[in-house]
Structure 1
Amino acid sequence: MNFLSQTIANKPDPNWSQVQVIPIIESQDPLVPLGLVNSPLRSYPAYFHQGVPGALNECYVRRSVLFRLYKAARLLPTGIELVVLDGWRPLPVQQYLYDTLHTVMTTHDTQQNETELLAHLRQFVSPPSDNPAAPSPHLTGGSVDVALCDVEGLLLDMGTEFDDISFWSASAAFETITKPNARESEVIENRRLLHSVMLQAGFSNLPSEWWHFDYGNQAWAWATQQSQAQFGVAERLTLAQRWLKSVTSEV
């Protein structure tokens, strides 16, 4: 068994009260767009294509995250490519995702009390926060949602769709099947492949989502037992903001 076929361990969800007190020493690593990136990386801004209000038509990540995505992509076997579905998010997009899922769960998951519901919700969407000391992971530019595709751009079977909120979205969910059928065996190998190359490239994985990986932010620092995080809230300045910054710096 090589590192690409390692069993995915069933890990607990992050202890968010511990995550949010990890100090952030901002590295000033800039956000960079993935639209100009060539093979072996693909970019498909999923929320934009789904019509989520405020979603960007481009995926942005911190520069050092991009370098690690390159490393992960180059570890993949010939014929398989890495697809980035989401990276940095503006706060309004995070708010929309959180509110929408909260509404769905409140309406249809009536067996849980409010505390249980919020804990379940947080497994899939973090509460919106641009607090410099405890930002939502995707607001840092250090979180990425990724999948695998073939050379034609067809997504591989990962067991669920991106952003599914069922039990089967957990990274290790299919590892619990004792006698997998052909399709389940394919899913297991696809997930192991994605998980392995991303961890080899320096990312950590959110156990409740096979597609979500972190680098440099508080979630990554907690998962990898680092004493501090490198990324706080990231900003993508508008043209007017960049001009104003340039003008004021000359005064």
Structure 2
Amino acid sequence: MNFLSQAIVQAPAPDWTAVLALPIIDNQDSLVSLGLVKAPLRSYPAYFHQGIPNALSDCYVRRSVLFRLYKAARLLPIGVELVVLDGWRPLSVQQYLFDSLFAAINAHSVHHSESELLNRTRHIIAPPSTDSLAPSSHLTGGAVDVTLCDAEGLFLDMGTEFDEISPLSYSGAFEVIDKPSARQAEVIENRRLLHSVMRQAGFTNLPSAWWHFDYGNQSWAWCANKPEAKFGLIELLSLRQRWLNNVRDEGEFR
């Protein structure tokens, strides 16, 4: 058995109070587009294709995150490719996803308190936050949602859909099956493969979501036992905003 087939040890849920208390010293790494990436790395902006309001038609990550995604992709065996489903997202998308999931859980959890509903929701979607001291992970450009596909672009079987609300979405969920079926055994190997290459590239995984990985943000710092995060809140500037900044900078040099 090589490192690509190591069993996934189910990690405990993050201590979110401790996570969001970690200091951030942003290294000013820029956001970059994944629109022109090449195999074995692919980009498929899932929320845009699902018609989520204000979802971007491209995926963006911090530049150093892209380098690490390529590192992970190049560790994959021939015929398997890494697919980025989402990276940096606007606050409005984060709000929509959180509100939609909270409402769905609330509709079938009439006996749960609001704090319990919040906790269940954040297993999949973090509360929207533009707090510079505690931003939502996807608003930092350091969080990515990924999966695997074959050389023809068909997604590999990961056991659940991306963003599925299910105990089976936990990264190590299939590892506890004593006698897996042929399909379950395939899922186990696919998850191990994804988990292994992403960890080798320096990412950490959200235990409740096999698809979610972090680098540089507070979640990564907490999971990797780092004293501080490298990435804080970042904004994808529109052309108008960039022009306004250009004019301002031009005036400063006169």
Please indicate the TM-score interval, normalised by the length of the shorter structure: over 0.9
Kindly state the Cα deviation for residue 152 of structure 1 after the two structures are TM-superposed.
Answer: 0.2
Moved more, 47-56 or 106-115: 106-115
Aligned partners of 1:67 and 1:109: how far apart in 2? Answer: 42
Instruction: List per-residue Cα deviations over 1:89-116 (Å, max 9, x = no partner).
Output: 0000000000001111111122422221
Partner of 2:61: 61
Amino acid at match of 1:245: N
Q: Equivalent residues in 2 for 1:134-173 (5 A)?
A: 134-173=134-173
Aligned partners of 2:116 and 2:192: how far apart in 1? Answer: 30
TM-score by length of 2: 0.98
Partner of 2:187: 187
Instruction: List per-residue Cα deviations over 1:38-66 (Å, max 9, x = no partner).
Output: 11110000000000001000000000000
Amino acid at match of 1:203: F
Partner SS state of residue 210, structure 1 = coil
Give 5+ residue unaligned stretches, structure 2: none
Instruction: List per-residue Cα deviations over 1:171-230 (Å, max 9, x = no partner).
Output: 000011010010000000000000000000000000000000000000000000000000
1:89 maps onto 2:89 in alignment: yes
1:26 maps onto 2:56 in alignment: no
Kindly state the Cα deviation for residue 33 of structure 1 after the two structures are TM-superposed.
Answer: 0.4
Partner of 1:222: 222
1:247 maps onto 2:247 in alignment: yes
Partner of 2:178: 178
Partner SS state of residue 149, structure 2 = strand
1:39 maps onto 2:39 in alignment: yes
Partner SS state of residue 164, structure 1 = coil
Partner SS state of residue 158, structure 1 = coil
Amino acid at match of 1:151: A
Amino acid at match of 1:77: P
RMSD, aligned CA: 0.6
Partner SS state of residue 152, structure 2 = coil
Kindly state the Cα deviation for residue 118 of structure 1 after the two structures are TM-superposed.
Answer: 1.1
- Runs of 4 or more above 4 Å deviation: none
Partner of 1:100: 100
What is the percent sequence identity of the aligned residues? Answer: 66
Q: Equivalent residues in 2 for 1:113-132 (5 A)?
A: 113-132=113-132
Kindly state the Cα deviation for residue 234 of structure 1 after the two structures are TM-superposed.
Answer: 1.2
Partner SS state of residue 64, structure 2 = helix
Partner SS state of residue 96, structure 1 = helix
Aligned partners of 2:10 and 2:241: how far apart in 1? Answer: 45
